[in-house]
Structure 1
Amino acid sequence: MRKYDLLIFDWDGTLVDSIDRIVQSVWMAAKICNLPQRDESAVKGIIGLAMPQAIKVLYPHLTEQAQIAHFLRVYAEHYLAFEETPSPFYPGVATTLELLRDQGYRLAVATGKTRRGLNLVMGGHGWTDFFDATRCADETASKPDPLMLNEILVQCDVEPAKAIMVGDSIFDLQMAEQAGIDAVAVSYGAQDSDRLQSCRFTLMIDRFEQLAIWLASGKC
């Protein structure tokens, strides 16, 4: 009997190579909104959070709701323009996900993206109906709050012990711990392995295909 029934994935930096587009969109929004530029490391450090929470981290002095709304609007415009050509899957992601689905695993997405953004990129890949469940930050609580994971578990009728979260940020790993589910850390995304080491996880992978190999080995 295998240990997990439900595999839950972050999107940006875990399944698709979109990190540079996010960084560039934040920089463009900061420029247009006359805000100081944050370095690449700082911007990568907020990837995974919902954008309203990310802005609070990058610009804690920004409290006017009109200014925040302007930043969010400009960011979204630039990012969605980039995504007219969908961010590519990382090597091995598409074939591995198809293999896992064929093996009977249920698959879900828990992302800091908006529903509009996720639907756009999933549709661009022809994967609108690929996953059993998806949750976005604008329809639930932002990571690392475990609410979106709890909602996916309820929707899929799966106990926490039978699910695992796969993500590239500390927010993914913290969310999984708070939800009481295991986690796989991804070292090739937004946050490097040194930062991820501060959190609890069961496995760290450097290539997406390693997930399927590990699940098939019975060592999990």
Structure 2
Amino acid sequence: MSELKTLIFDWDGTLCDSITHIVEAMHGAAKLMGLAASSDQAVRDIIGLGLPEAIATLFPDIDEPGFVENLRTLYSEQYLTLEQQPASLFPGVIETLDTFRSAGFKLAVATGKSRRGLDRVLATHGLIDFFDMTRCADETLSKPHPRMLEEILNRLETPASCALMLGDSEFDIRMAHGARVRAVAASYGAQSRAHLLQSRPEHCIDAFVEFQGWILPSSGAAQQQRIDNVIG
């Protein structure tokens, strides 16, 4: 197996505990537009897609461009209102990413968020210049198409065999497979372990703090103790 050089992360539900905000914002926007309510799980199941693709999946009978654009605008407004109390990063994210950087990994984000949305949350968490590369759905093709990962790999000069994607949705796993990148699923985000395993990830973690120990087993115990000290 090739040496692992680049770690690529989804954002919502993988690094950031923002799923509740996304679900509430979509419900709020749909209600304002007079649409029948979707289930919470139905909304969770479209997280990872770009917003246009997510709306088309949730509301397939809506094809009037003006209506769709109004729904997109309302969703964004609802989400910004909820983000006045910013969603937190999952426990251990900063400590673990720092460990990966110290170990020489390149770090990237591949997200269904817009560029404007990602830059806003990166700034909120003091991470605006933290990652070697970030790519958003409005800059390329939406997940699960592999182009987002291919563009990251090209920019970071990383062969697909030397990269790994961590994500909490089937779209992340399918995108990784399409790009011939190793895939690890995160069951603590949008979709369940059983659902994620249907996409055949290489591994599945149930908490973000497990990831570092799986990538760097020799240092996992010591890093876990440092994380426990921070969040305990």
TM-score normalised to structure 1 length: 0.96
Rounded Cα–Cα distance in structure 1 between residues aligned with 2:138 and 2:98: 27
1:181-196 residue pairs with structure 2 within 5 A? 181-196=181-196
Deviation at 1:97, TM superposition (A): 0.8
Is the Cα–Cα contact under 8 Å of residues 149 and 179 in structure 1 kept in the other structure? Answer: yes
Q: 2: distance between equivalents of 1:209 and 1:104?
A: 19
Instruction: Name the CA distance, whole Å, in 1 between partners of 2:215 and 2:2.
Output: 8
The gaps in structure 2 that reach 5 residues or longer are 219-232
- Which sections of structure 1, spanning at least 5 residues, go unmatched? none
User: CA shift at 1:159, angstroms?
Assistant: 0.2
Quote the residue 1:78 is aligned against. Answer: 78
TM-score between the two structures when normalised by the length of structure 2: 0.91
- Say how many residue pairs are matched: 218
What per-residue deviation string (whole Å, max 9, x for no partner) do you get for residues 3-37 of structure 1? 21000000000000000000000001001111111
1:107 is paired with a residue whose SS is: strand
RMSD, aligned CA: 1.3
Distance in 2, Cα, partners of 1:142 & 1:120: 20
Identity across aligned pairs (percent)?
47
User: Which whole-Å CA distance do the structure 2 matches of 1:107 and 1:84 have between them?
Assistant: 27
1:137-216 matched pairs, under 5 angstroms: 137-216=137-216
Deviations 1:10-65 (A, max 9, x none): 00000000000000000010011111110101010100001111111111000000
SS at structure 2 position matched to 1:86: coil
Give the equivalent residue in structure 2 for 1:92. Answer: 92
User: Alignment partner of 1:144: what SS?
Assistant: coil
Report the Cα offset of residue 118 of structure 1: 0.3
What is the aligned partner in structure 2 of residue 51 from structure 1? 51
CA distance in 2, matches of 1:56, 1:80: 21
The answer (yes or no) to whether the contact 1:110–1:136 under 8 Å persists in 2 is yes
Residues 29 and 71 of structure 1 are in contact (CA less than 8 Å); yes or no, is this contact kept in structure 2?
A: yes
8 Å contact from structure 1 (residues 167, 173) kept in 2: yes
| Residue equivalent to 2:25 | 25
2:2–2:161 Cα contact (<8 Å) kept: no
Mapped to 2, the partners of 1:124 and 1:2 lie a distance apart of 36
Q: CA deviation at 1:135?
A: 0.3
TM superposition outliers: structure 1 runs of 4+ over 6 Å: none
Distance 2:129 2:142 in 1: 23
Q: Distance in 2 between matches of 1:216 and 1:25?
A: 37
